[in-house]
Structure 1
Amino acid sequence: MITGEAVAIDLRVARLGSRLVAGLIDLLAQLYILYILGALVVLVVRPDDDALVATTFLLIYVTMVLGYPVACETLSRGRTLGKMALGLRVVRDDGGPIRFRHALTRGLIGAIIERPGMLLGLPAIISMIASRRSKRLGDVFAGTVVLQVSVPRTVGAAPFVPPPLLGWAALLDLTGLDDGLALRARQFLSRSHALSPQALDRLGRGLVDEVRAVVTPPPPPGTPGWAYLSAVLAERTRRAYARLAGQRRS
Structure 2
Amino acid sequence: MKLTIQLFAGIAERLNTSLLEFEYIGDIPTAADLKEKLSLAYPEAASQIRTSFLAVNQQYAPADNILSSEDELALIPPVSGGDGTDISDEKLRFPVREHRTEDGLFLITESTLSVEATTALVITPNHGAALTFVGTTREMTGEQRTVHLEYEAYVPMALSQMAAIGVEISDRWPGVLCAISHRIGKVDVAEISVVIAVSSPHRNDCYDASRYAIERLKQTVPIWKKEIWEDGSEWKGHQLGPWNPMEN
TM-score, length-normalised on structure 1?
0.23
More strand by share: 2
Structure 2 length-normalised TM:
0.23
- Which one has the largest radius of gyration? 1
